Amino acid sequence: MGNGVKIYVDVFRPEGATEKLSVIFTFSPYGKHGLKTFEIFPGADVPKALISKYAVWESIDFVVWTEIGYAVINGDCRGSWGSEGDQEVFSLQESEDGHDCIEWAGKLPWSNGKVGMIGVSYLAIVQWGITAQKPPHLAAFCPWERFTDFYRDYTHHGGFPDGNQCAYRNLSKIIAPAYIVADWGDHSMHTGGTLNGFMGISSKEKWLEVHGRKKWRYFFEQESVASQDAFFKKYLKGEASEIDRLPRVRLEIRDRAYESTVQDDCVRFYHNFNEDTGLTGNM
């Protein structure tokens, strides 16, 4: 980095590749070397057949993505695992580090100069700050399930603004093409922030998908990988793809799982707000 701190990364390229490669970059505090399995979260319902044992936690499986023609670079955030310095979670420093990593990746001799980002949760959240830095070599980003405000989206739903701490307020600066995915089931943590992020960014080319599946499994499902690949094909490889045939906004509508035992039971109230008002409490 510019201040002398070393950020450590793992680089994976397709075997025998002769043409210049598009790069997919992930930035993680959980360890670029993977070594975590979904066996510790059996409720995630991620079959072993979906990913290899080398996949980084909450990120793509480089075994799959190198096979379809991308280079993959996984980095450890400052102060985590192999990287030097002190970790500052969701900070400007972390965003600047991500910017510098993307610029380094885009200038590698075998790179085609186009870098994309992808990831779930933390690996998605950091993309808000990094893309707002507008790295010249960033061609597109694909965040899945992330909040924009740690306080209002996660710890105190609807709470008063927390002095901009752990909140991304520069969404309007983001102009890179985006494929954004949210999960109805993650409403207590990421859903609201993901939707706010989609509405807040200034990207002219952006897609939103909201699904009702299990977030980790759906991220690795073949249909999701196909959508991710179609998006990156257009913006990283410059190839025609199915992404332009997809609706810009897709919502999966869920039906009830059981019959209500309190049918027609409800509560209703009316109040006129004459000025902007912060609402507090769980939602």
Per residue in 26-58, pLDDT (tens digit) is 988 887 776 566 777 777 777 777 888 778 788
Name the pTM for this structure.
0.81
Q: Is the pLDDT of residue 167 over 80?
A: no
pLDDT of residue 242: 94
Range of the domain at 95: 9-277
Per-residue pLDDT, averaged over 131-146, amounts to 92
Q: What percent of the chain has pLDDT over 90?
A: 39
Q: Please compute the mean of the pLDDT values over residues 135-159 and round it to a whole number.
A: 75
Tokens of 194: 């993901």
CATH number at residue 180: 3.40.50.1820
Radius of gyration in angstroms for the set of CA atoms belonging to the chain, rounded to a whole number: 20
Q: How far apart are CA 255 and CA 33, in angstroms?
A: 40
Q: How many helices (H) and strands (E) does the chain have?
A: 6, 8
Residue 4 counted as domain residue: no
SS3 label, residue 184: helix
What are the distances in angstroms from CA 255 to CA 25, 155, 212, 247?
Answer: 37, 28, 10, 22
The answer to whether residue 193 sits within a structural domain is yes
Whether the predicted pLDDT of 282 surpasses 60: no
CA–CA separation, 53 and 137 (whole Å): 30
Q: How confident is the model at residue 280 (pLDDT cuts 50, 70, 90)?
A: low
Residue 283 covered by a domain: no
- Answer yes or no: is 3 within a domain: no
- Whether 19 has a pLDDT exceeding 80, the answer reads yes
Q: Is residue 21 part of a domain?
A: yes
